[in-house]
Structure 1
């Protein structure tokens, strides 16, 4: 074989190897779409946080604050966390979310099953914190109204299921459908026993509006880049931890590492809404 032919064969093999690597890369990207979207979301939402700061303190009906009424069972500093999972769980997953945030919905829809599994096996408890950054960025009140409704669900012990229903039925980011209390009450019908006169009154009157605003202020003051923010025992894990992108397998691995030598809490698993 001539040098020219050998070079041609080598080039063909190199092209084949490169093509295979490209196909593998495409498959990895397909399997981790949520992570790819999250990276874009985090970068984009850095600008949103700036807009929040710029809009802070502007007048209007929403800036008229009464006393902050924390929902029943709220925990943590200033009672701003809504806990799901057993108190004795050895690890805590802290999640900051906005019900209008599309990346939050991607995160929840991708990791909901895994998070429930870890909760129901007593390995973690989750502390949810609510923010309203999309309202500040795009206008409207859907982030605030949905967060208030979720707090109303917390009052009757149905936060976890209603939280999942809201993210599973999230409208497009530019559609402020959650700004309508009627829509939030309609979705409450998907959670058994939630759509009651007491819940409706809480939603319609905005019982927890000021509490939600206080939570959003804590988010802005916390120096977070955007939503969702996910911390495992205080360490950021979204969209990556120690150079490893988040995935269902990695989340389980990170929790197992954090819980090494510790006993899981005793819990009675309960089904969650889909």
Structure 2
């Protein structure tokens, strides 16, 4: 074999080897990207379904609250709640949450449309239990002040819209911006018809502070480890139900399974629910 042919064969083998090395590198990079995406997905899911550990031994601003004045239509007795949706809906979604809790905002902002859809169809009625966990963990009064303002919005028949607005505009967890009643009143302007003298007075006077404290006491004495805690007909579904992780598809499926053979609710929606015409301000 001539020197020229040997050089040509060697060059071909080298090119082939280089091509194989490039393919290996691409495959390695592809695997890294797949693993990285999986890790990001897990972290993202953890953020969505993250639970803020409860500090059940601490005190917060709700400990100083006054008399118990329930907002319009409140239910729950020793576990106070604000109901939304058609009251005769066959399934009940109980949501324990804190307006300063970032995981609560992530849950609400991700599942809000689905919950509203289920409420409007009469499949589910929601019961919102308001907690002041972050006030107890980090100090401040934003959880209490926001919860009182949300209860004031319930009095005005605007709970759903204002509740959603608070989560859409939620400040950083360490920023106790909701401790400022002026900020809460400012956000009320995003909900048509809510910013009235009656609402402002209710917010500034802390009319429902005692009721919020009662709700938070129920949370602190419960078996829940943090917020959000979400139950469907008394069974925990957050961050998962059994072995199934919560998702839009699974939430709809679980509600359908719970309602099998039952008629959807048709009664007039509770004040402030989506079916009553409320819309979240942005």
Q: TM-score, normalised by structure 2?
A: 0.82
CA separation of 1:273 and 1:137: change in aligned 2, threshold 3 A = same
4+ residue runs over 6 A deviation: 18-22
CA separation of 1:34 and 1:216: change in aligned 2, threshold 3 A = farther
In the alignment, the residues of structure 1 paired with residue 40 and residue 239 of structure 2 have an alpha-carbon distance, to the nearest angstrom, of 16
Matched positions, count: 252
In the alignment, the residues of structure 2 paired with residue 179 and residue 211 of structure 1 have an alpha-carbon distance, to the nearest angstrom, of 17
Aligned match of 1:148: 148
CA separation of 1:142 and 1:230: change in aligned 2, threshold 3 A = same
Aligned match of 1:35: 45
In the alignment, the residues of structure 2 paired with residue 123 and residue 108 of structure 1 have an alpha-carbon distance, to the nearest angstrom, of 18
Aligned match of 2:13: none
Q: Is the 8 A contact 1:97 1:131 kept in 2?
A: yes
* 1:125 alignment partner, SS class: strand
Q: Which has the larger radius of gyration?
A: 2
Aligned match of 2:186: 186
Shift of 1:35: 2.7
* 1:5-154 correspondence to structure 2 within 5 Å: 16=27, 27=37, 35-39=45-49, 41-42=50-51, 45-46=52-53, 49=54, 51-53=55-57, 55-56=58-59, 63-78=63-78, 80-154=80-154
Aligned match of 1:174: 174
Shift of 1:134: 0.4
Aligned match of 1:6: none
In the alignment, the residues of structure 2 paired with residue 28 and residue 260 of structure 1 have an alpha-carbon distance, to the nearest angstrom, of 35
Unaligned runs of 5+ in 2: 1-19, 270-274
Q: TM-score, normalised by structure 1?
A: 0.84
Deviates more, 1:73-82 or 1:185-194: 73-82
Aligned match of 1:3: none
1:230 aligns with 2:239: no
* 1:77 alignment partner, SS class: coil
Aligned match of 1:5: none
Deviation string for 1:141-199 (max 9, x for gaps)? 00000000000001111111100000000000000000000000000000010000000
Aligned match of 1:272: 279
In the alignment, the residues of structure 2 paired with residue 22 and residue 241 of structure 1 have an alpha-carbon distance, to the nearest angstrom, of 31
* 2:231 alignment partner, SS class: strand
